[in-house]
Structure 1
């Protein structure tokens, strides 16, 4: 039942401190919600305009009105349903191929897009710095378009993590080698830096190689590429060679 108290709790889940307090986050839209039972995440409750469209063994969808859906949705134009899900325990997996290392990504849309890219290219794990935006942020979940259920995302002290890794650490840098001519190994860490500042110095010194996307246009007005755009270009080239 969607009581006033429950509405208040669900509305508070747009903030990290309340997601951690209640150990909950929201997923919106039937398409993504239907993928959750086959993932490591557990659904606590579902609220829907049409519960008959959703069938789960562990949760029963409760019918709500469009007005109620608008109260608990974080979207400007709410979709059909909202699922209340439990946060899961982070587990660092062994790197068996390529993994993304994100250093201080702050924009939820960028993180969501990078999660979606990882899913598209079959990258199983993303390692985020501790100051990277929380991937349970509603905007990240929405931008990932359901890919968060298929990519393992963990937060680590990157300096400590990269000092221990046995795999090459390749990072983006304006002064790096032309990545179109770079021979990527089969197993490595790809570091992408903060939207405004790039990779921080203490992480940059741990890079084994630096790469850059060369500029072919003559205009100098575009100083750099969006980090998720750059990530997509690099991953496309890497997997073109495979």
Structure 2
């Protein structure tokens, strides 16, 4: 076990960097946080474990696990104060440093297969919440644009309840360029056909816009909406969940 007590330690500084999308990309690591998420992950450890981080009141979860027989996992012990700085979502449980999987580029020329969700969401919590609903309602893949938060951001993984580690992820270029060059895209917007009455095709790409700008200025999109009464619009991820449920009902998933 390796003990670290200084904020100037290279490992500690790198782990602090992993609380941002930029840091995750730079270092090629992310931190899995949360007792339930870690216990679920250890049932099927399909990401390489780079390290385990704990403090003096915690016992290692990898040392006695079968995964330690196939991977050499360094264990680092921090004082509680430093541990709590790394534990940015406040789990107070062991942390696992994992190696992200390569996110393959989407073949934009290929037709959608089933429901594919485009998620140009820069807020990691919103991205996680959207992916949680997408997995619940049988989406086949998540498409991330250049504007998207890292799917390995700790807040994204927490908000997704681990769903981001379970669904195929693909990447594409800039959001506007992508949606303007694809014909099988349906945009969830304030103005459009009621999702409850829409005859959902089996294969389509559903795009969720960032709150605020939405799809203003984008022409030629197939637009869908979740009608509201007494309020202008819903939170984007709430509206998306309703639309995803409507799709799942149409195709007899529930």
Q: For this structure pair, what is the TM-score category when the shorter chain's length is used for normalisation?
A: 0.7 to 0.9
Aligned to 1:81: 94
- The C-alpha deviation readout for 1:45-86, integer Å capped at 9, x for no partner, is 1124222576223254737467153232112x3331101011
Where 1:100 maps in the other structure, the secondary structure is strand
1-structure distance, mates of 2:247, 2:3: 48
C-alpha RMSD of the superposition: 2.5
2-structure distance, mates of 1:197, 1:7: 38
Of 6, 9, 15 in structure 2, the residue corresponding to residue 10 of structure 1 is: 15
- The runs of 5 or more residues in structure 1 that have no matched partner are none
Aligned to 2:50: 44
2-structure distance, mates of 1:58, 1:159: 42
TM-score by length of 1: 0.84
Of 153, 160, 185 in structure 1, the residue corresponding to residue 201 of structure 2 is: 185
| 115 and 212 in structure 1: CA distance in 2 versus 1, 3 angstrom threshold | same
Matched-pair contact (CA < 8 Å) for 2:185–2:205? yes
TM-fit CA distance, 1:127: 1.0
Which stretch of the first structure deviates more once superposed, 83-92 or 44-53?
44-53
2-structure distance, mates of 1:117, 1:61: 35
2-structure distance, mates of 1:170, 1:14: 32
Of 192, 212, 215 in structure 1, the residue corresponding to residue 225 of structure 2 is: 212
| 80 and 205 in structure 1: CA distance in 2 versus 1, 3 angstrom threshold | same
1-structure distance, mates of 2:105, 2:145: 13
- The runs of 5 or more residues in structure 2 that have no matched partner are none
Of 151, 163, 186 in structure 2, the residue corresponding to residue 170 of structure 1 is: 186
Please list, as runs of the form range in 1=range in 2, the aligned pairs for 1:1-242 lying within 5 A after superposition: 1-3=2-4, 4=6, 5=9, 6-36=11-41, 38=44, 40-48=46-54, 49-52=58-61, 55=65, 56=67, 57-60=70-73, 62=75, 64=77, 67=80, 68-75=82-89, 77-92=90-105, 95-103=112-120, 105-157=121-173, 158-159=175-176, 161-162=178-179, 165=182, 168-201=184-217, 204-207=218-221, 209-215=222-228, 217=229, 219=230, 222-242=231-251
TM-fit CA distance, 1:171: 0.9
TM-score by length of 2: 0.80
1-structure distance, mates of 2:244, 2:35: 29
| 52 and 151 in structure 1: CA distance in 2 versus 1, 3 angstrom threshold | closer
Matched-pair contact (CA < 8 Å) for 1:101–1:191? yes
| 51 and 231 in structure 1: CA distance in 2 versus 1, 3 angstrom threshold | same
- The C-alpha deviation readout for 1:76-106, integer Å capped at 9, x for no partner, is x333110101122112467421010123x23
Where 2:232 maps in the other structure, the secondary structure is coil
